[in-house]
Amino acid sequence: MKKLIAEFIGTLWLVLGGCGSAVLAAAYPELGIGFAGVSLAFGLTVVTMAYAIGHISGCHLNPAVSIGLWIGGRFDKNELLPYIAAQVLGGIAGAGILYLIATGKSGFEVGGFAANGYAEHSPGGYSMLSALVTEIVMTFMFLIIILGATHSKAPKGFAGLAIGLGLTLIHLISIPVTNTSVNPARSTSQAIFAGGWAIEQLWLFWVAPIIGAIFAGLIYKFISPEND
């Protein structure tokens, strides 16, 4: 139960910090943080939580991460579904808090609410195929970073930094394509509040990250198994 509470809180923080920066600060007149600021915000949520709850739950904060770690032989399959449930619920709670804050401003419209999308709902107008490839490849690389940084032979104490910086880089690359998901819990939380098209396109932001995570788990387990 303690692990699940930690995953709930951590995913709440990821959504509130990352998506909150996009909704509240990215386009602020003259002082907005833009894509680079949002990318850094997502990375910082992971870095901070890695050191806050990593020793409790492993700080997955992401169903794709849990699945990739399971495939890679680093996570107990019996904990997989409870972790995913805690992550999704934590993400929804974070989005709910963000909604309460954002709607406190007169004239605020929910709009996309930092939801992930493709085609006309891609920030740069990228196609469904572009979105699919981007999310698979970015999640694959994210899991490679995670599996490598947390390997028993990796330098100790730096995993949180490597993973957080990796997520920052992923956002710098892919925000224009999909608003960057690589995390089904993050996508679900925002889609619920954005509604409409965001719900209709949500399938891609579950399918693609899971595919990328499975590939990464299989490949990293082959190239660097823990029992070497």
Q: What is the pLDDT of residue 108?
A: 77
Per-residue pLDDT reduced to its tens digit, 44-90 = 999 999 999 999 999 999 999 999 999 999 999 999 999 999 999 99
Per-residue pLDDT at 100 exceeds 70: yes
> 224 falls in which pLDDT band (50, 70, 90)?
confident
The pLDDT > 90 percentage for the chain reads 83
With 0-12 CB in 10 A as exposed, 13-18 as middle and 19+ as buried, what is 188?
buried
Per-residue pLDDT reduced to its tens digit, 158-203 = 899 999 999 999 999 999 999 999 999 999 999 999 989 999 999 9
Contact between residue 187 and residue 115 where contact means Cβ atoms under 8 Å apart: yes
The helix or strand, by DSSP H or E, that contains position 127, with its residue range, turns out to be none
Per-residue pLDDT at 109 exceeds 90: no
In the 8-state DSSP scheme, what is residue 23?
Answer: I
By three-state DSSP, how is residue 225 classified? coil
Which of 65, 113, 104, 72 has the alpha carbon at shortest distance from 87?
A: 65
Q: What is the pLDDT of residue 228?
A: 53
Whether the model clears a pTM of 0.85, i.e. scores above it, the answer is yes
Per-residue pLDDT at 29 exceeds 90: no
